[in-house]
Amino acid sequence: MECKTTEIARDTYRISTFHPSHGIQYNQFLIKDDEPFLMHTGTKSMFQSTLQGVNSIMDASKLRWIGISHFESDESGALNEWLDIAPRAQGVCSFVCSTLNLNDFSSRPPHSLSDGETFKIGQHVLRFISTPHVPHGWDAGLFFDETEKTLFCSDLFAHFGDVEPMTGSEIIQCAKETIQNNPDLLPYTLHTEKILQHLADLKPKILAVMHGSSFSGDGQKVILELNAVFEELCSKPMDTPKEDFFTTLKA
Ligand SMILES: [Fe+2]
Ligand SMILES: [Fe+2]
């Protein structure tokens, strides 16, 4: 699988691999700084592709932090592969993620963060936001680059296709279609609205989307639009989609 890299913000690179049978991009994000930070590991099966992408930007053995949103093969599956090639690297995640998953899974102990905690990696300051079940998983959390106003939003706004690296226009309709076709992908809990409001209050300028195009523009507006999409879809019973991600794969 071929990997494409694009600088989406200062020192911030999107490392994208399109999976032809899944019909979706798997995007990792690298902040090249004194303590280089990689957001999501990618799966083990695409590790060589992602490694090639990182090495085209910097020496991957110098990675310091591997940001994990939640425990899932594309988000954290290749963590030990990264720890093997980068001796100073360490997973960084929520306390729940470390307690339930990474303390057991990771070949080196992860570093867990509390909600709102910040850490400096050089020029960039990152903030961790605890976001249980947003996008999904009890252990979920997101990272916000306060320096560049980039929100690494994991599976939020996921959409299909081998799409352009960055868009400044339509993202909410694509995200809505993904939720309609895959209604179990992103749960809407008693806390989701409050969490999305908190993310919107950060006023991100760039949304670094794990699956699909990243977004450049009024991040506050589109996050609130996403909440409105959830409210609309939750307000009436939804028909079971004829074809979701998994039925397409089985066909
Ligand atoms: Fe996920
Ligand atoms: Fe994902």
Give per-10-residue mean pLDDT for the chain (251 aa). Answer: 94 96 96 98 96 98 98 98 98 98 98 98 98 98 98 97 93 94 93 98 98 97 97 83 73 66
Listed residues: CB within 5 A of ion ligand 2: 74, 155, 210
Q: 211 C-alpha to center of ligand 1: Å?
A: 10
Q: What does the pLDDT read at residue 238?
A: 73
25 CA distance to ligand 2 centroid (A)?
9
Report pLDDT for 170: 79
Task: Say which ligand is closest to the CA of 39.
Answer: 2
How far is the CA of 97 from the CAs of 102, 111, 184, 204, 243, in angstroms? 6, 10, 21, 24, 31
Instruction: Please name which of 140, 166, 149 lies closest in space to residue 200, comparing C-alpha atoms.
Output: 149
> Distance, CA 136 to ligand 1 centroid (Å)?
6
Cα of 177 from ligand 2 centre, angstroms: 16
Nearest Cα to Cα of residue 186 among 221, 126, 143, 229: 229
* This prediction's pTM: 0.96
Q: Which ligand is nearest the CA of 187, by number?
A: 1
**C-alpha of residue 7 to centroid of ligand 1, in Å:** 23
**Quick one: which ligand is closest to 135's CA?**
1
Total structural domains within the chain: 1
Rounded to 10 degrees, what is the CA torsion of 120, 151, 158, 11? -60
List the helix and strand counts (H, then E) for the chain.
Answer: 9, 14
Q: Which residues contact 247 (CB under 8 A, 6 or more apart)?
A: none
Question: 199 by DSSP, 3-state: which?
Answer: helix
Q: What is the pLDDT of residue 245?
A: 76
Cα–Cα distances (Å) from 249 to 14, 25, 49, 192, in that order, read 26, 15, 22, 29
The parent domain of residue 84 ranges over 3-250
CATH of the domain at 118: 3.60.15.10
Query: How much is the pLDDT for 251?
Result: 66
Instruction: Show the tokens assigned to 30.
Output: 């690298």
Ligand number nearest to the C-alpha of 184: 1
154 CA distance to ligand 2 middle (Å): 6
CA of 186 to the centre of ligand 2 (A): 11
